[in-house]
Amino acid sequence: MSISARENIQNLRAYETPQIKARIKLNSNESPWPLPDKIIEDIERAVAVVEFNRYPDASSRILREEVSRWLRVGLDNVLVGSGSNEMIQCVFLAFGGKGRTLMTFVPTYSMASKIAAITDTEEISVPLKEDFSPDIRKIVKQLEQVTPHIIYMCNPNNPTGTLFRRSFIMKLLEMTETLVVVDEAYGEFCPTSVIDLTNRHANLAVVKTFSKALRLAGARVGVLVASEPIVKEVQKVKLPYNLNILSQTIATIVLRNRTLLWPAIKEIVEERERVRRELEKIEGVVAVPSQTNFILFKTPFEGNTIYEELLRRDVLIRNFSNYPYLKGYLRVTIGTKEENQEFLAALKDVLDNRMWASRL
């Protein structure tokens, strides 16, 4: 007797994140700073009295109350889970599946496609324009041909860093009854959000993460905000005790002290703009305008080569050169000013050597 997984699972590859060591780590869009001392002290006091022998609150009510205050939404409009990926997976489990379709605008966050494949949801991909803005004509044409059950977009978009206009999202919400999932993982780095629209549009769900601006990548905390009917359906597929007691406790404390984090977000935005200006000064480099904590860019040379040359100089960034629609592109996370300077110096050195070699 042979034991086999479902056919759609057999055709998948496991998601792997190799742990590559480098002195300058700018590949994962994490915060370059640890939590402030005040928050660490509050966490230490809280953890000291945690009852680890007891299950955590299955509803994560205290954390959800803090989220509702932070995002100014109702308590019953909020779910939390183990990272935003779990929230996306729960949405796809509830509203996707065999015989159902997902529409994405590519290139975008790859886990959406991964989760679609896991849940046996058919994906319809509409390519973005060359400048990574939405091709509205193509999108409207697709929607005239097929009505997907879910439309997913990352806004601001990962890995491009670009922003879909609020008016575009509102148009989608009004022209279709499809569930529109907007992933605002990088929302704190840009001036716009559509969370307020969840009060007016029953077909909108917004996903957020604590892993970026809130500096809790290691705690794995994600948020879903949607109308009560959507939340109730998603709750049916969410496993009990899905968020451990440590993550609930830590995330709650971070939100209660969130104003301590805002100055660093402002600094990241300022550094992002400075780094992009510096990149654009380098001959042949194209840097995509970003509304996130990273910049997508390409050089006149083959992307894999530039990535490897930077790694030899102890600078780790993300290589997207082999991804569809992203040939030659690389992505760098905005780190501290010192880290950013080392990246820029290393890149200039790599490109200078390449330019010199090409002229021989």
- What stretch(es) of the chain map to CATH 3.90.1150.10? 20-33+261-358
pLDDT for 360 equals 46
| Topology (CATH level 3) of domain 20-33+261-358 | Aspartate Aminotransferase, domain 1 (3.90.1150)
Angle at 31 between CA 224 and CA 309, to 5 degrees: 120
Please give the average pLDDT of every successive group of 10 residues along the chain, which has 360 residues: 84 84 97 98 98 98 99 98 98 98 98 97 98 94 94 98 96 95 98 96 98 98 99 98 98 99 98 98 97 98 97 98 97 99 98 70
Burial class of residue 6 (count of CB atoms within 10 Å of its CB; 0-12, 13-18, 19+): exposed
Give the side-chain half-sphere CA count within 13 A for 136: 9
pLDDT for 354 equals 76
CA separation, residue 71 to residues 75, 81, 150, 214 (Å): 10, 16, 23, 14
Residues 6+ apart with CB under 8 A from 63: 80, 221, 243, 248, 251, 252, 255
pLDDT for 245 equals 98
CATH node for 37-258: 3.40.640.10
C-alpha 42/C-alpha 46 separation (Å) is 6
Over residues 70-106, the pLDDT tens digits come to: 999 999 999 999 999 999 999 999 999 999 999 999 9
pLDDT for 18 equals 78
Q: Are 305 and 347 in contact (CB under 8 A)?
A: no
